Amino acid sequence: MNPERVIPVVVVLVGIGAATWFFWPSSPPPPPPPPVKAEPAAPAGPKFPVAQKPSEPLPALKDSDVTVLEALKGLFGADNVPQLFIPESLIRNFVATVDNLTREKASRRVWPLTAPGGTLKATGKDDKLAIAPDNAARYKRWVDAFDKSDAAAVTGAYVHFYPLFQQAYVELGYPNGYFNDRLVEVIDHLLDAPEPKGPVKLVVPKVLYEYADPDLESRSAGQKILMRIGPDNEARVKAKLREYRKEIVAQTAAASK
């Protein structure tokens, strides 16, 4: 309806209502019925359920680092673990980081992995400024470890410790959420990351590098990380993420029966 015609219609309706109120003889209107108290909606069940019945007692979440580190040493090698992981608040930081990867920023303060040395390497200047091809080498240690990991064994350890992951997720602010559902959701989000062809152009509007392509710059923290580590590394990580997703869905389904 034309907005200019709406105002007269509203005025007429208000006038009719006023005339009826003042001139039409009637008994007082009945009181409105008491409001019906709505019952709170029950939280939906998990899409990817995990049976929270570990084969042996688990430590308290706040005391779990020692046990989790021992498990990581068995999965990634005792010599590699200190180079790959930050040994404090491992489960809490993993949960917080996974949750942050779909957002604009993923805080380094809760990152569970050690940081690569140096800063992002760039080449060229002005409209030729781009991520340098040798920047990808900075991430080799972590990509190699992830690529060589046994997805079935790591997922088995994850299922074993899952009650602690779920507790950390609830404490993060999701009392009705399920961390396993969130994990699969985030993996799917990362798999959707763009795969730029050719040099990835950069700009420096202030102090830090940004992607020159507005579409790439608008992406989440997790997708930006994948684009930053180089096309070969991104392809390797995505291939492994698909393995992990398959294992997570299969093993959690089996564990929930």
pLDDT digits (tens, 9 = 90+) for 55-109: 789 999 999 999 999 999 999 999 999 999 999 999 999 999 999 999 999 988 9
Looking at the chain, the whole-number percentage of residues with pLDDT higher than 70 is: 81
Q: What is the pTM of this model?
A: 0.81
Tell me the pLDDT tens digit for each residue of 128-178: 999 999 999 999 999 999 999 999 999 999 999 999 999 999 999 999 999
Give, in order, the Cα–Cα distances in Å from 2 to each of 8, 10, 14, 74. Answer: 11, 13, 19, 71
Antiparallel, parallel or unpaired: β 202-203 and 130-131: unpaired
Top-confidence residue, 23 or 239: 239
Alpha helices in the chain (DSSP H): 3-23, 65-76, 81-84, 90-100, 140-148, 151-160, 162-171, 179-191, 214-217, 221-228, 231-255
- Tens of pLDDT along 193-209? 999 998 999 999 988 99
Paired with 130 in beta bridges are: 123, 201
Q: Give the per-residue pLDDT at 30.
A: 43
